Structures are given as C-alpha cells and as structure tokens.
C-alpha cells in the first residue's frame, strides 16, 4: 500500500488524509481521485458568548478498482462512519470499464482524469495518466437525448402524485414524488457531468449534484422544515411499500408536492441552459476544426 503524501495532508487536513489511507488499505483500489471539493467555515464573534467556529468539508471521490465487482455501498458506508468533518460522496468503477468509457469519449471520466486530483495510486506515483482531450462534438446531442427520456418520466410521476393527492392517497403520492426527485437527479447528473448514476438514495444523488450546482441540494436542505420534509420523502421509498404503520399527513403531502413541483421547474431550466451551452461548445469546436484544416490550404494559396 502506498500512503497519501504529506502534501495531500497539508491541502486537505489530517482526518481526510487518514480516511484516504484507510480506504486504500481496506478496499485496495488502483487509484482514488477527488473530483469535487467544497469547504465552508462559519465564525461567530460576540460580546456575550465565547468565540465559536464551525467548518465542514464536502468531497466527491472516484475509486478505480482492479475488478468489475461493485463496492459502492460498502465504501460509502465506511466513509459515512469514519469521516465526521463533513460529507463524502463515493463512486466506484472497475479499471477496465473506466478506460473503455474514456476510449468512448466519456465527458465525465475524461474530466476526472484530466482535472481531478489524484489522491492515491497503488504504485505510489501520484501522476494523472494521460487521456486524449474530450471531443465535445456530440455532447449537446447526447444530453438532449437523455433529457427527452428522463424529463417525461419525472413529469409522469409528478402527474401521478397529483392524482393520488386528489384522492387522498397521501402515502402513494409521496412515493410517486420520491420517484420524481430520483428521475430529476439522474437527469441533472447525466446532463451536467455526463455520469450515469445507478443508485437510488436521494441524499447521495443530491450530494453528487453539488459537484456542479448547490441549488438542487439547497432546495431540500435550506431550512429545518425542508429537511424534515426531505426525511419524510426519503422514508417513503421503502416505508410506503413495506411498513404498515407508515403514514403521511395531508399537509406534508401537499407541502412536498409544492416543493417538488418547483424542483422540477428549476431542474428543467438548468438542463435547458446546460444543453444550450453544450451545443454552443460543439459548434465552436466544429468551426475551430474546420479552420485548422483550412489554414494550410490558405497559407499555400497566399504563398
């Protein structure tokens, strides 16, 4: 095992460096990349209370594993229970599938390997492997395809939630709202960072959204009431189907519907703007490629 260097400890702190060492020892990945980090600190000074400072850290990690065996949940559970200084969202993929995706021009994996921070390597060499630059020519087209598939699904679940609400089936309505949020999160992630998420945990999905925008997560966590409603929503995924004593009040069901209706509208706007940006990038790239191809001919003509 190759332990993280002192420079990583200096940049991220002792607790995070310790976690990376533990993850590398326990799960034996080939590499660990950090593709997202956010730090926040609150400091309070007052004449009436002692000085108090609160800080938190949020990370997104990619573990590249030697085999295709998926260990996401095990690694995520370990990170949740061994890092008290903030939150960590972990995704794990086998080395072969990662490089197949890179060879297929994956926007996500190329970005991580190009811009992400390599925290650990099994050979001790903390040098990012070289990958060909991302070709954006089909980025907008692919994102639009996913949008046209996922958005109708989300809106269909939202319509179903409204119908259940109208007939006072509050438990089922909230379950349908859970499905709505799940589909929207999957869509947001696919459009913005081109990653195909395969988990259903809403908290984890929303944390992954933080790698490109704080807004989706903030809508459910900006107040004590929205956090309480989110807990009701999260429990509905299994409780609405398997627990006889699970019950949602009319007020909570209506509040959740209003919140998630707004969430869908915000996500739609975010996706449309991102798709437009991706299409503009594709157009600019195509023009630059044409210019590069024409330049030798133009120079030859001028000479």
Cα(38)–Cα(109) distance, integer angstroms = 20
* DSSP letters spanning 15-37: HHHHHHHHHHHHH--SEEEEEEE
pTM value is: 0.88
104 — phi, psi (to 5°)? -90, 15
Closest by CA position to 267, among listed 224, 201, 215: 215
195 — phi, psi (to 5°)? -110, 135
Secondary structure class of 4 (helix, strand, coil): coil
Domains parsed from the chain with CATH numbers: 5-41+55-121 (3.30.300), 138-282 (1.20.120.330)
Cα(62)–Cα(39) distance, integer angstroms = 19
Cα(59)–Cα(76) distance, integer angstroms = 12
Question: Given the DSSP bridges, would you call strands 31-44 and 117-121 parallel, antiparallel or unpaired?
Answer: antiparallel
Tens of pLDDT, residue by residue, the chain (303 residues): 454 555 666 577 889 999 999 999 999 999 999 999 998 766 666 766 666 656 678 999 999 999 999 999 999 999 999 999 999 999 999 999 999 999 999 999 999 999 999 999 999 888 888 999 999 999 999 999 999 999 999 999 999 999 999 999 999 999 999 999 999 999 999 999 999 998 899 999 999 999 999 999 999 999 999 999 999 999 998 876 777 778 999 999 999 999 999 999 999 999 999 999 999 999 988 787 777 766 555 545 555
């Amino acid at each position: 095992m190759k332990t993280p260097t002192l420079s990583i400890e200096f940049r991220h702190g002792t607790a995070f460096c310790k976690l990376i060492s533990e993850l590398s020892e326990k799960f034996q990945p080939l590499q660990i990349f950090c593709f997202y980090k956010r730090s926040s600190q609150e400091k309070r000074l007052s004449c009436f209370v002692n000085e108090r400072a609160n800080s938190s850290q949020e990370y997104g990690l990619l573990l590249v594993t030697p085999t295709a065996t998926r260990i996401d949940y095990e690694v995520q559970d370990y990170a949740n229970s061994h890092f008290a200084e903030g939150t960590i969202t972990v995704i794990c993929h086998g080395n072969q599938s990662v490089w197949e995706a890179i060879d297929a021009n994956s926007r996500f994996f190329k970005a991580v390997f190009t811009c992400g921070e390599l925290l650990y390597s099994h050979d001790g060499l903390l040098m990012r492997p070289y990958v060909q630059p991302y070709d954006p020519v089909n980025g907008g087209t692919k994102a639009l395809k996913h949008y046209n598939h996922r958005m109708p699904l989300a809106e269909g679940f939202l319509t179903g939630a409204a119908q259940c609400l109208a007939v006072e089936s509050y438990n089922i309505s909230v379950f349908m709202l859970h499905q709505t949020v799940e589909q929207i999160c999957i869509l947001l992630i696919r459009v913005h960072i081109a990653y195909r998420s395969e988990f259903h945990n809403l908290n984890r999905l929303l944390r992954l959204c933080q790698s490109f925008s704080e807004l989706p997560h903030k809508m459910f966590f900006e107040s004590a009431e929205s956090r309480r409603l989110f807990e009701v929503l999260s429990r509905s995924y299994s409780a609405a189907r398997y627990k006889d004593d699970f019950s949602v009040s009319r007020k909570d069901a209506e509040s959740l519907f209003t919140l998630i209706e707004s969430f869908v509208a915000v996500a739609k706007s975010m996706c449309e703007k991102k798709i437009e940006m991706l299409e503009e990038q594709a157009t600019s790239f195509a023009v630059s490629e044409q210019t590069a191809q024409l330049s030798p001919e133009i120079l030859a003509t001028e000479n």
